């Protein structure tokens, strides 16, 4: 590799990493548009969740076939890309397999990488078959059209190409093959190139090398636009996940203070509390993404669109409009729209749109049974229910737009002390019935 190649590689590397850093800053900015929430308690449990769920993939393997294949792809893709360290050194300084001085350990590493790359390639092909031939239903819900559908396929094709290029690069590296150590898989590809002369084989090796590193940088920057952003966000997402028992909802502090005042007229409704220094919220619940907290917004970016949540949702299974996966996808889409608005205008300019109604309909929200099945099923601890509950609160407390049945129930509780339309004096009449 001559001087020009070194300079070209350095420029490619700077552009690729620079664009990635720019997107990460934009991602961080968008997440911080959410309201503040303290998720720093019980750090021991949080570190354990991150280690077991994000790193250990414990919830993925609840569905063994997909779980095991995902572990192979996840671990394999990270380990094989350790080779990128050597590629960067070679690209910047014009060396060739600079780490080969490690001797037997280097051969062991490359041999391991080849086996893992082959396993990743097989796993990705199986994933493609499950999606496109077996057509597993959760991959074909109505929200999985257009870019979401193509995005999943793009990632599979990316991984197929990158793993293949790695093996082709090794198979056509004459020096590496002459070592006859570490070429556990690539040695079987050599017959494919037996008809090529040495110059052509060298061109193929160099081409595979360049396309491989370019593909990795393209993949790195594609992550921001893809559901595969969870590769990066799964770790903080599981760390900052809600540790409360499922089914325990947070109370609105302003409402709690009002109830306390009703029960104790001498209480100070404006007394400072550890949870908040504000007397009352700007609004009850959430109607747009900026009303949600930053963890909920990070949830939206972390969603893998795997559909496990929707596949266990009782409302969705009975034909209701609700899809927990769609809730997260729509939240992310609206957040991206708000972010683009800020990028264009340097601040958010009202666009007469909001998450509620323009993206998520009340019909979807009220179809939810609050059973937490989606939360339990998510492999990276995303919480669609919290977004649903916050938007319901807005409908009820800001717009008085609860369904008629719910309004009737709350009226009965207020007037009769029970959900049923019976006078309080008649509530025990049932015991006199034969």
Same domain, 285 and 172: no
Q: Looking at the domain assignment, is residue 43 inside a domain?
A: no
Q: Looking at the domain assignment, is residue 248 inside a domain?
A: no
Which of 154, 143, 221, 113 has its CA nearest to residue 384?
143
Same domain, 220 and 302: no
d(CA 288, CA 333): 12
d(CA 231, CA 84): 17
Same domain, 202 and 265: no
Mean pLDDT per 10-residue section of the chain, whose length is 434 residues: 85 97 97 96 96 95 94 87 90 92 91 95 97 95 93 95 96 93 94 95 96 95 94 96 91 78 68 51 88 98 96 96 97 98 96 97 96 96 97 93 87 83 75 68
Which pLDDT value is given to residue 414? 82
Q: Looking at the domain assignment, is residue 53 inside a domain?
A: no
Q: Looking at the domain assignment, is residue 424 inside a domain?
A: no
- Among residues 239, 270, 290, which one ends one of the domains? 239
CA 125 to chain centre: 22
Contact 289, 33 (CB under 8 A): yes
Q: Looking at the domain assignment, is residue 131 inside a domain?
A: yes
Q: Looking at the domain assignment, is residue 166 inside a domain?
A: yes
Same domain, 219 and 314: no
Contact 9, 93 (CB under 8 A): no
Which pLDDT value is given to residue 270? 56
d(CA 125, CA 159): 10
CATH number of domain containing 388: 1.10.1060
Same domain, 102 and 219: yes
Same domain, 232 and 280: no
Provide the 3-class DSSP secondary structure of residue 360. Answer: strand
Q: In terms of residue numbers, what domain contains 304?
A: 253-416
Q: How many CA atoms lie within 13 A of 137 on its CB side?
A: 6
d(CA 45, CA 62): 21
What domain count does the chain have? 2
Contact 361, 285 (CB under 8 A): no
Same domain, 273 and 175: no
d(CA 86, CA 412): 71
Q: Looking at the domain assignment, is residue 193 inside a domain?
A: yes
Question: What angle is formed at CA 38 by the lines to CA 35 and CA 43, rounded to 5 degrees?
Answer: 145
d(CA 268, CA 144): 51
d(CA 54, CA 43): 16
Which of 256, 117, 118, 100 has its CA nearest to residue 175?
100
pTM (predicted TM-score): 0.89
Same domain, 395 and 266: yes
Contact 221, 19 (CB under 8 A): yes
Same domain, 288 and 189: no
- Among residues 183, 210, 239, which one ends one of the domains? 239
Q: Give 57's contacts (C-beta < 8 A, 6+ positions apart).
A: 67, 70, 71, 74, 379
Q: Looking at the domain assignment, is residue 187 inside a domain?
A: yes
- Among residues 239, 265, 288, which one ends one of the domains? 239
Same domain, 102 and 223: yes
What sign does the dihedral 415-252-399-261 (CA atoms) show?
positive
Same domain, 69 and 141: yes
Which pLDDT value is given to residue 416? 80
Same domain, 234 and 273: no
Contact 209, 202 (CB under 8 A): no
Which of 17, 24, 25, 30 has its CA nearest to residue 224?
24
């Amino acid at each position: 590799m001559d001087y020009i190649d070194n300079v070209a590689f350095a420029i490619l590397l700077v552009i690729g990493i620079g664009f990635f850093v720019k997107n990460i800053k934009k991602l961080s900015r968008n997440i911080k548009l959410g309201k503040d929430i303290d998720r720093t308690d019980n750090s021991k449990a949080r570190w354990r969740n991150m280690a077991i769920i994000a790193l250990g993939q414990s919830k993925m393997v609840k569905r063994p076939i997909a779980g095991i294949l995902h572990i192979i792809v996840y671990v394999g893709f990270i380990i094989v890309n350790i080779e990128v360290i050597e590629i960067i050194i070679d690209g910047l300084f014009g060396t060739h397999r600079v780490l080969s001085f490690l001797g037997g350990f280097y051969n062991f590493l490359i041999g391991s990488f080849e086996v893992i790359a082959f396993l990743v390639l097989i796993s990705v092909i199986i994933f493609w078959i499950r999606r496109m031939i077996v057509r597993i239903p959760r991959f074909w819900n109505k929200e999985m059209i257009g870019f979401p559908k193509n995005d999943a396929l793009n990632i599979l094709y990316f991984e197929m190409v990158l793993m293949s290029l790695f093996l082709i690069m090794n198979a056509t590296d004459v020096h590496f093959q002459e070592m006859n150590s570490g070429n556990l898989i690539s040695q079987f590809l050599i017959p494919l190139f037996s008809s090529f002369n040495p110059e052509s084989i060298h061109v193929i090796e160099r081409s595979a090398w360049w396309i491989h590193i370019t593909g990795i940088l393209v993949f790195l920057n594609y992550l921001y636009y893809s559901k595969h952003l969870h590769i990066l966000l799964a770790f903080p997402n599981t760390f900052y996940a809600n540790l409360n028992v499922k089914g325990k909802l947070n109370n609105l502090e302003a409402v709690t203070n009002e109830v306390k005042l009703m029960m104790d007229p001498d209480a100070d409704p404006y007394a400072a509390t550890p949870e908040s220094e504000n007397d009352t919220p700007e609004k009850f619940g959430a109607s747009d993404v900026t009303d949600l907290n930053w963890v909920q917004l990070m949830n939206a970016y972390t969603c893998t669109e795997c559909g496990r949540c929707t596949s266990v949702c009782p409302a969705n299974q009975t034909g209701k409009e609700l899809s927990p996966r769609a809730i997260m996808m729509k939240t992310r889409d609206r957040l991206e729209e708000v972010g683009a608005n800020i990028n264009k205008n340097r601040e958010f300019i009202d666009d007469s749109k909001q998450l509620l109604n323009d993206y998520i309909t009340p019909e979807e929200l009220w179809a939810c049974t609050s059973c937490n099945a989606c939360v339990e099923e998510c492999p990276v601890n995303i919480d669609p229910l919290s977004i649903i509950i916050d938007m319901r609160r807005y409908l009820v407390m800001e717009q008085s737009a609860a369904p008629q049945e719910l309004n009737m129930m709350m009226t009965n509780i207020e007037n009769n002390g029970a959900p049923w339309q019976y006078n309080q004096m008649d509530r025990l009449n049932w015991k006199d019935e034969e």
